[in-house]
């Protein structure tokens, strides 16, 4: 028999359910934005538009999604250890973005408009989709009864 419980309700018993929902919504948002970007930029700029969309979506969306993946991966660790790993991954992401942008800055295989629009769009859409996923997840809480 199939389980007809919506994913959003199933996640409530998992303490990481809100983060998982955010990751799911963010990934879907990134794929949708990438497809939209390809539909717009490939006819406008050809292969250069395609590469601009791919690089922009990968850098912008990857930057945001890696954070939630690292948080999920370190959730079982001690809080200080988790903090060190999350902050270290953030620093590595910053270095990676600077290096990637420095490498492709003077190359001409991509359309700059496609890259910039996808970079900004990916950051906004993925963050918004993650925020929506976290807000939609119902997480029950239990409060202590007074006097016990």
Confidence check: pLDDT of 92 > 90: yes
Confidence check: pLDDT of 1 > 50: no
pTM score, whole prediction: 0.80
Q: Which two tokens stand for residue 82?
A: 């988790």
What would the mean pLDDT of 60-70 be, rounded to a whole number? 91
Q: How many domains does the chain have?
A: 1
Confidence check: pLDDT of 43 > 50: yes
**Is residue 103 situated within a structural domain?**
yes
Question: What residues have CB less than 8 Å from 71, skipping those under 6 apart?
Answer: 19, 82, 86
pLDDT at 5: 59
The answer to whether residues 41 and 114 touch, using CB atoms and an 8 Å cutoff, is yes
Instruction: Determine the structural domain holding residue 102 and report its residue range.
Output: 16-136
**Is residue 28 situated within a structural domain?**
yes
Q: Which two tokens stand for residue 97?
A: 């973005």
**Is residue 143 situated within a structural domain?**
no
């Amino acid at each position: 028999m199939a389980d007809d419980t919506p994913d959003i309700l199933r996640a409530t018993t998992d303490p990481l359910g809100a983060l998982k929902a955010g990751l799911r919504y963010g990934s879907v948002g990134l794929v949708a934005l990438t497809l939209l970007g390809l539909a717009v930029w490939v006819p406008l700029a050809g292969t250069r538009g395609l590469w601009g969309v791919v690089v922009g979506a990968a850098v912008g969306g990857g930057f945001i999604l890696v954070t939630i993946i690292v948080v999920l991966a370190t959730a079982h660790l001690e809080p200080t250890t988790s903090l060190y790993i999350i902050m270290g991954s953030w620093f590595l992401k910053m270095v990676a973005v600077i290096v990637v942008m420095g490498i492709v800055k003077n190359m001409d295989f991509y359309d700059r408009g496609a890259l910039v629009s996808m970079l900004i769009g990916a950051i906004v859409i993925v963050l918004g989709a993650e925020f929506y996923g976290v807000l939609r997840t119902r997480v029950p809480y239990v409060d202590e009864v007074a006097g016990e």
